Chain A
Amino acid sequence: MKYIARRIIFYLITAWAAITINFLLPRLLPGDPVQALLLRFKGQISEQATQSLYVLFGLDKSQSLWSQYISYWVQLFRGDLGLSFTFFPTPVSQVIGQSLPWTLVLVGVSTVIGFALGTAAGVIAGWRRGGWTERLIPVTSFFSSIPYFWLALLLISIFAVNLHWFSDAGGYDILTDPGWNLDFILSAAYHGILPALTIVISSFAGWMLGMRNMMVTVTSEDYVVVAHAKGLSERTVNFAYAARNAILPSVSGFALSLGFIVGGTLLTEMVFSYPGIGYTMFQAVQAKDYPLMQGMFLVITFAVLFANLVADMVYVFLDPRTRSEV
């Protein structure tokens, strides 16, 4: 448990760093677009909202940096991320709340599928060394280097525009009512297939290559030879002894991969106009909607940290060496 405790502390520190970066950015970089927009919307914003924007962007020059920092934290704890300019006057937290679930489902499902398929493929590739599996490597390298958004464009072009198998945009058919009804869910699933496919294909290769290399390393370990010497079947040795050990770095390396996948998902959403955080971020960037951009960055980071924590717990479950009190 010490391991998990240490990880939690680390994530808290990282969260703090992310928040601080968010705080410092508008104050460090040139330009003051917030002022301009405030002027534009003057009269339409409540006193309260103006004040919160002041705190977020340090517009009150009379306060010292430190007191601004404190105010910032206080405001965050209240859940106030400011008002979005693009979706004025909706609060940022609400905008995020609406788009977050879409992204979560998309990333969650795709990552799990990609990980499962990729790791399984890696096990097989590592097991049967030489021959056709070696030739697969350049192909998978190619696939792992395809930019997410380009693959998305490609898939749209092939499957949506030409073959008309899937939709090319949106998260659901706008004619259906959003809510927990079958029509909506099916429609959402239908619209989610191509984006999910994009993410699965792009991430698959990375998992596979990593797992394959680890399998190769592990099969030369002593305990695998011992397992063979015991007369256990090849399948038992490869799965129970080799793969079971080889998967550990993939789980612990999940942190790196997840950051990447999230980035890719954002881009994919943009291409598909999928109503998740990515697409909203895209709109925010276009409109220079700083409160929204900042809010999203924080939420994305926290979500990634949480996912990492989950991965860490899975790792502790898988590797008894981390559980030792010794």
Chain B
Amino acid sequence: MTYIASDTEAMLEGDDNERAFVETKRQHPLSGFWRTPKSRVGLIIFAAFVLLAIVGPMVAPFNPNALTDDLLQPPSLKHIFGTTLTGQDVFSQFLVGARSVMVVGLIAGTVATLLGVIVGINAALFPGFADEFLSALANVFLVIPALPLIILIAGFIPNGGGWITVSLVISVTGWAWGSRVIRAQTLSLRNRDFVQAARATGKSTSSLIVFEIFPNLVPIIAGGFVGTVNFAILSMVSLSFIGIGSSSDWNWGTILFWAQGQQALSQGAWWWFVPPGLAIAILGMGLTLITLGIDEFVNPKLRAGGLDLKALKRAKVRSRVGYTAVLPEKGRS
């Protein structure tokens, strides 16, 4: 199960109750994000895959559909990821497949996030029936299990549709979570002093939204976007694995579909199914790390910062809640 920051809402509720947390030196806010090793690693992984998606199909050594005589070969110099039962080069399939996966993931992520933002902001800023209705709608979509719904919808589309259709289907099921978090944050912001102040000076609602509220929503939206992309990629791969979606259009799920169908397991052809799955896992991990990084950024309590833990460890001093660390005496006090 992908990690979902379901506690984000709980965090937001506690937002106004800030204790005196003394920040370290003033820095550009985003630099804190980059500094976290989690986010850095996550971003690097993500960038690597984006690169793969762009470059992949161009550098594939073989046509992924091409049948050769090297049947079910383990990895070699010629076929880096080995071959399939029909002699197709797994590595080429992998490279070509990267693009579909990333494209669908990003499109679905973008559309879903957009929907979530629109619904979330509207629901929070225009209370009343609209809010009730939209929130109910979001909750309905949240509770209905996503994958069965996606399978159902996609199953009705003849030939599974191209990647655009798949992206749309995934967006329709995946927008709800982001909208809920955004709504919670917008509500909390709406009552903050600076918004009240802006309102008092007569600013129009739209400029309020754009200049006051939106900048504070960016980290939450970013977190939601990353999470949704993760969800989209997993859903898309799952769909292809089942056989929905065009099976001639290469993506990592399709590779696994064929691997499963052609008994790769019982024949011990590990090279066939390990790389695609591993890639999905690594990409997912990268995205999760980014989400965690954003979580820490939004909720400073999660940061381990402030204390140089290594220095304390050297001094054999542990810093715990309830037992403040005390530096050892230097000589007699």
Contact = CB atoms under 8 A, between A and B. Distances in A.
A87 interface: no
A301 B148 contact: yes
Interface string B126-158: 000000000010011011111111011101111
Given A13-B136, A262-B147, A146 B5 contact: no
Contacts of A253: 4, 6-7
A216 B301 contact: yes
Q: Which of B7, B147, B309 has the most CB of A within 10 A?
A: B7
Contacts, number: 239
A29 B158 CA distance: 9
B323 A210 contact: no
Contact of A217 (B14, B153, B230, B287): B14
A161 B323 CA distance: 52
A146 B256 contact: no
A31 interface: yes
Contacts of B202: none
A264 B1 contact: yes
Contact of B144 (A26, A217, A248, A301): A301
B140 A213 contact: no
Interface string B225-250: 00000100010011001111000000
Contacts of B273: 150, 153-154, 157
A285 B143 contact: no
B190 interface: no
Nearest to B152: A297
A141 interface: yes
B61 interface: no
B46 to A, nearest CB: 12
B4 A288 contact: no
B266 interface: yes
Interface residues of A, number: 91
Contacts of A141: 3, 284-285, 288-289, 292
A263 B145 contact: yes
Contact of B1 (A31, A130, A260, A296): A260
Contacts of A281: 148, 151
How many of chain B's residues touch chain A, expressed as a range?
A: 35 or more
Contacts of A68: none
A86 B182 CA distance: 44
A145 B283 contact: yes
A304 B144 contact: yes
Interface string B244-285: 100000000000100110000110101001101100111111
B216 interface: no
Nearest to B160: A285
B302 interface: yes
Contacts of A266: 147-148, 151
B86 interface: no
Contacts of B136: 10, 13
Nearest to B285: A142
User: Which 9 pairs show the lowest CB-CB distances between chains A and B?
Assistant: A145-B284, A228-B322, A263-B147, A253-B6, A150-B277, A206-B1, A141-B288, A259-B145, A142-B285
18 contacts: A142-B284, A145-B288, A146-B284, A161-B268, A168-B266, A203-B1, A214-B7, A214-B10, A217-B14, A220-B301, A248-B10, A250-B6, A256-B177, A267-B147, A267-B241, A282-B242, A293-B155, A304-B145
Given A157-B270, A253-B7, A282-B242, 6 more contacts: A14-B140, A145-B288, A228-B323, A260-B145, A266-B151, A304-B143
Interface of A: 10-11, 13-14, 17-18, 21-22, 25-26, 29-31, 129-131, 134, 137-138, 140-142, 144-147, 149-151, 153-154, 156-157, 161-162, 168, 202-203, 205-207, 209-210, 213-214, 216-217, 219-220, 222, 224-225, 227-229, 234, 237, 248-250, 252-253, 255-264, 266-267, 270-271, 281-282, 285-286, 288, 290, 293-294, 296-297, 300-301, 304-305, 308
